[in-house]
Amino acid sequence: MSNLPTGDPETFVGEAENMNLDELIDKVFAVAVACGSPDKCKYIPESIHGPYGFYEMVGEVYNTWTKCSHHAKVIILDKDPGTPPKFLDECTIDFLEAKGQEIIVEGMLCGESLEKDFTCRAGLIDANQEDDPRSKVEENEDVEESR
């Protein structure tokens, strides 16, 4: 399934796609309200909640859209501070907003995704490592040590 393309935001319609989400099933997530451009990793810090398993995250994204009319930003949690945070991309969020209920019901009935003719796969965005203040601390320490 890795040969499937990710969605193209210019042409993607969540209701019309069958996205393969298998690579996300075993991850742990946090969900917040998105702000700014959908292709960036910005969210409202006060709105972040988690940790969520896969189906909990799907439900939270779906509810954030249907009940509050806000897009969600989904962060894949990782304990390694050297790894840039990963976020679900715009098309994956749109797909979860459009088909969240179906995904949850399918998971309850089958325990996993049904074999489908997938049209795309989940996409991820890496956060810009330069935005992490911890990466600048090491640089500043080197500068102060040389004085």
Establish if 2 belongs to a structural domain: no
What is the percent of the chain where pLDDT is above 70? 82
Question: How many structural domains is the chain composed of?
Answer: 1
Residue 73 has pLDDT above 80, yes or no: yes
Which residue range forms the structural domain that includes residue 42?
14-145
Rounded (to 5) percent helix, strand, coil in the chain? 40, 20, 40
Least confident of 22-31, 86-95, 136-145: 136-145
Establish if 58 belongs to a structural domain: yes
What's the rounded Cα separation, in Å, for the pair 55 and 98? 15
Establish if 6 belongs to a structural domain: no
Establish if 7 belongs to a structural domain: no
pLDDT at 71: 94
Q: How confident is the model at residue 113 (pLDDT cuts 50, 70, 90)?
A: low
Positive or negative: CA dihedral 95, 118, 105, 122: negative
Establish if 19 belongs to a structural domain: yes
Establish if 9 belongs to a structural domain: no
pLDDT at 109: 84
Helices 54-68/90-110 angle, 10° precision: 120
Residue 119 has pLDDT above 80, yes or no: yes
Cβ neighbours around 92 below 10 Å, total? 25
Residue labelled with tokens 């298998």: 22
